[in-house]
Structure 1
Amino acid sequence: MKKILFVFIALISVLAMSSCNDKTRCVGQWVSEKMTGDDANGNMYLTLRENGHSTLTVKGSVDTESDGISMNVTFTVEVDGTWDASMGLLDLDFSSDNIRYSIDKIDAGDEDVNALIRIALTDLDTKKEMMKEFEKEMDIDNLSGSQSLQIDFKDNNTMLLTSDDGDPVVFHRM
């Protein structure tokens, strides 16, 4: 019986130490390598604080068309939540109540059109409509919820996070 108890305590100690190690290594500010796809590109910034709070910021741009006008829209999306790490998994939990987003710049490639866009955005109803369209296009609500990601460290400054789909995202410590 003592042997089984000893093995059980040793197993719990190993799990606790690896859990602490994952947490300690994860704490900090991280930036992803540039991500591209479907006329969009950008970076993710992940802040993991010692107190279990986290912030995910996505800064990017997307090429889109509206009323026959091609535009490049740069944006920022930020969501707060919590995190935990143990046994090689990073658990993130983000709430839809904590999502903030903005359109940082719209470039239609023509200064006259850009001036008209800026004028249109001074109208509150037009701006609200554009933000609703942006929210729908970017599927903002999809950022909320829980997700477990596999953590692999190349070194203390490079972390790979892999979701269930198997595509790893490389993050570098800032």
Structure 2
Amino acid sequence: MRTNRKTAIALAAMLLVGAAPAVAQATPVAESAAAPSACRPANHTAKITQAPASAGHHHYRVTLTAPRGYDPCELAGSPTDVRFSDRGSQTQITAGHYGDQRTAVTFGPGSPVHFDIQVPNDARQVSVDEASFTLQAPAGEIPGTSFAQGKLRVAAGTVIGPVQQGA
């Protein structure tokens, strides 16, 4: 009986060792699930900072960054559905857009992007601390709302520039 048990254990071990390469080949690394997209609102952060003024306008830069662990993606054009809030209260000010709406840029970990908020100097300005917006991809809208934090002043006639490469 002892010989049969040893033989059975040896046979089982050979089968497992022989089967291991077949199991590894059946689930190659290339077939593993892709990481979530950096373009999804929950997968990036956005910060508003003051930028240099131009003739007749104040400018603010909204910089988007994505941490490691997310897949890069493409963005294009200006964010849409832009809304501004101050301490949680939404203002009535909406924003238009300007610039090239078709050029695609890559966004992801190590590849931040930014866009411009241009506010006319001569309009009645309102202080806000948050902007919400919907990002655009070359093929259309990215579902969900992104949020950027930072102090700025907005007014009627505020426009949003297209997403550009860099911080």
Taking structure 1 as the reference length, what is the TM-score of the superposition?
Answer: 0.28
Look at both structures and tell me which one has the larger radius of gyration over its CA atoms: 2
Higher strand share: 1
